[in-house]
Structure 1
Amino acid sequence: MSRSEVLPPLPDHGRFAYSGIHDRPDYVWPGGARLAVYLGFNIEHFAFGEGLGAALGPPSPEPDVLNYSWREYGNRVGVWRCLELFDALGLPSGTLINTALYDHCPEVVAACVTRGDEIIGHGHTNAVRQADLDVDAERALLAACRQRIAEASGCAPTGWLSPWISESRHTPDLLAETGYRYNLNWAHDDQPVRMRTAHGPLWSIPYPQELNDIPMIVARKLDGRDFADMIIDQFDEMLEQSARQPLVMGVALHPYLVGQPYRLRHLRRALEHCAAARDRGDIWFTTPGRICEHVEALAQQGMLADL
């Protein structure tokens, strides 16, 4: 019996090959920047009395008023405070929306569109996991969300983040099939990576699971001061690293968390630090869609090898 039969290779996703970041083609972002930074601003709506949702306190029997109303604070107050902060610093946002917001508080999405933010598909509600759907239902969800955003906000989304980062084995194929150009679900790299699908390439744009207020604040029980320090430390370190290769740094935010006043004060400190570097010309502060457009153009020019 051969060694490969005793120790066979592990199952693989087949979407892209391994590639160490130290040995890849070099390129720059617009303006000659080496570090691209974006805000992934998650605006979500949850069913009352059922379904999933982050919890501030121990979940109670439904209707769980404590945790539902805590999350709803983000749509009524936190989102507006965050947008005021983004406006004050002149920061664009990659705004990830549940399409249920169009029924619940359409003025929130309209405010983001007026700002010129990129609207990114993020399911219909975060009360449901996408991977629980069968193939036909998942395809219908992706298509329906894209159509709803196009009709209500005037531009079909090119990117997608699954609720709860929940994928089926078919999700990348279905995304490409239904017209999306990039996926934010995978947290495996600091550069965009082309994924293979049954319907052509799909870009994986780095989305943070560490620099993300839900795992930091809800799961690890840190708070606004610690999260702001993490943003600054991540930024400073990645800016140094980007001297060696172009990198992408995302910051994942949820208004029911960072929109709380005492956390917002610390977020302001962190974003002011990033905005100052932008003003010096040290970084490209952008959106995931523009990152995707840039690497697509580079790939068409033959400047990026398959990873």
Structure 2
Amino acid sequence: MTNTVENELFDYSPITDRAPIRWPGGARVAVYIGLNVEHFLVDRPSTSIWPGTADLVPDALNYGWRDYGPRVGIWRTIESLDRHGIRASVLLNSTVADHYPQIVKAGLNRNWAWLAHGRTNSILQAGMTLDEERRFLTDVVDTITAATGQRPRGWMGPGLTETFNTPALLAELGLSYVLDWTNDDQPYRLNVPGMLSVPYSVELNDLLLFGKGTTGPEFVQIVKDQYEQLHADSEHSGRVMALALHPFVTGQPFRHKYLDQALEYLAAQPDIWLTTSDEIAEHYQRTSEERTNGGVTQFMADILSK
């Protein structure tokens, strides 16, 4: 008989049974841009547009496709973010600090939020021992802190990967939330003291959408549809919308205007809190006691008054 492993990291919590979340300024949907700024190794396979050459060393086709992001695509993306006054939540490989310091400098000038995103997207920590992972995560966090002058508060693993030890090790290092568990429209507490899960998306994600053949106009409509539904859902309790971007995908010339249209739409919404994942996590943590003590009573009163 095979032994099964129960999920002890978080508990089941239906969204209908929770105390309401109130975002600042009466906003209904908190939206952040998860901007993946990554470095890939030339002798390791990773995300590929054409699997036929993915195991070659060097893999000029796929490495070159990915390398378009830091060389060209990121700068188009920055233009659109600036145009619409949006701060990015940057999912940062720590080796970016050495290889692409100009991108880090651009982000510092724009007060981006910096999240730890592993060392490189060519290396996962899956299979590491506890001590190996502790050393690995410490190096990642310390490198990003030194490069940005800010200790990261959040984490997303390369490929959204963790071990069973990752959240506790991140808590040891002073981080307070992860994005890896894409199972909710609201933040929630993990069963690790001080740690939250903040929503991220593998669906509203340019890499997967365009990888499935989504067109530019369809991408804009998907962004609108996502926001409209979350706005409707948020009548009694706030929701989170994450838009995941990779500069080697939406930074391509023929897609750029559609990313710009999507950001223009979001920036124009009256009930939106266009923010960062750091600020979402901080607000949720700070107001959680108030929600726990009085939120359920108010939630029921709101419903009964309708």
Normalising by structure 1, we get a TM-score of: 0.91
* Amino acid corresponding to residue 90 of structure 2 in structure 1: T
Quote the offset at 1:73 in angstroms.
0.6
Q: Deviations over 1:91-124 (max 9, x none)?
A: 1110111111111111101111110110110011
Q: Deviations over 1:205-233 (max 9, x none)?
A: 00111101122122x23243322221111
* Pairing partner for 2:231 from 226, 234, 239: 239
Q: Residue in 2 aligned with 1:177?
A: 172
Whole-Å separation in 2 of the counterparts to 1:112 and 1:161? 18
* Amino acid corresponding to residue 282 of structure 2 in structure 1: E
Q: Residue in 2 aligned with 1:215?
A: 208
* Pairing partner for 1:203 from 196, 202, 216: 196
Q: Residue in 2 aligned with 1:139?
A: 134
Q: Is 2:46 the partner of 1:53?
A: yes
Q: Is the 8 A contact 1:231 1:270 kept in 2?
A: yes
Q: Residue in 1 aligned with 2:272?
A: 283
Whole-Å separation in 2 of the counterparts to 1:168 and 1:183? 12
Quote the offset at 1:182 in angstroms.
0.4
Q: Is the 8 A contact 2:19 2:291 kept in 1?
A: no
Q: Is 2:5 the partner of 1:16?
A: no
Q: Residue in 2 aligned with 1:84?
A: 79
Q: Residue in 2 aligned with 1:295?
A: 284
* Amino acid corresponding to residue 293 of structure 1 in structure 2: E
Q: Is 2:248 the partner of 1:256?
A: yes
* Amino acid corresponding to residue 267 of structure 2 in structure 1: A
Q: Deviations over 1:19-51 (max 9, x none)?
A: 111121013101111210000000111001x22
Q: Residue in 2 aligned with 1:44?
A: 38
Q: Structure 1 residues 32 and 160, CA, compared in 2 at 3 Å: closer, same or farther?
A: same
RMSD of the alignment, in Å? 1.9
Q: Deviations over 1:222-267 (max 9, x none)?
A: 2433222211110111111111321000000000000001111111
Quote the offset at 1:15 in angstroms.
2.0
* Pairing partner for 2:59 from 64, 70, 88: 64
| Percent of pairs with identical residues | 40
Whole-Å separation in 1 of the counterparts to 2:20 and 2:206? 31
Q: Alignment length, in residue pairs?
A: 292
* Pairing partner for 1:114 from 109, 113, 127: 109
Q: Is the 8 A contact 1:113 1:119 kept in 2?
A: no
Q: Residue in 1 aligned with 2:216?
A: 224
Whole-Å separation in 2 of the counterparts to 1:152 and 1:271? 28
Q: Is the 8 A contact 1:298 1:304 kept in 2?
A: no
Whole-Å separation in 2 of the counterparts to 1:228 and 1:302? 34
* Amino acid corresponding to residue 103 of structure 1 in structure 2: D
Q: Residue in 2 aligned with 1:186?
A: 181
Superposition pairs of residues 161-172 of structure 1, within 5 angstroms? 161-172=156-167
Q: Residue in 1 aligned with 2:95?
A: 100
Provide the secondary structure at the position in 1 that maps to 2:49.
Answer: coil
Give every structure 1 segment of 4 or more consecutive aligned residues whose post-TM-superposition deviation is greater than 3 Å: 300-305
* Pairing partner for 1:123 from 101, 118, 121: 118
Whole-Å separation in 2 of the counterparts to 1:140 and 1:183? 18
Normalising by structure 2, we get a TM-score of: 0.91
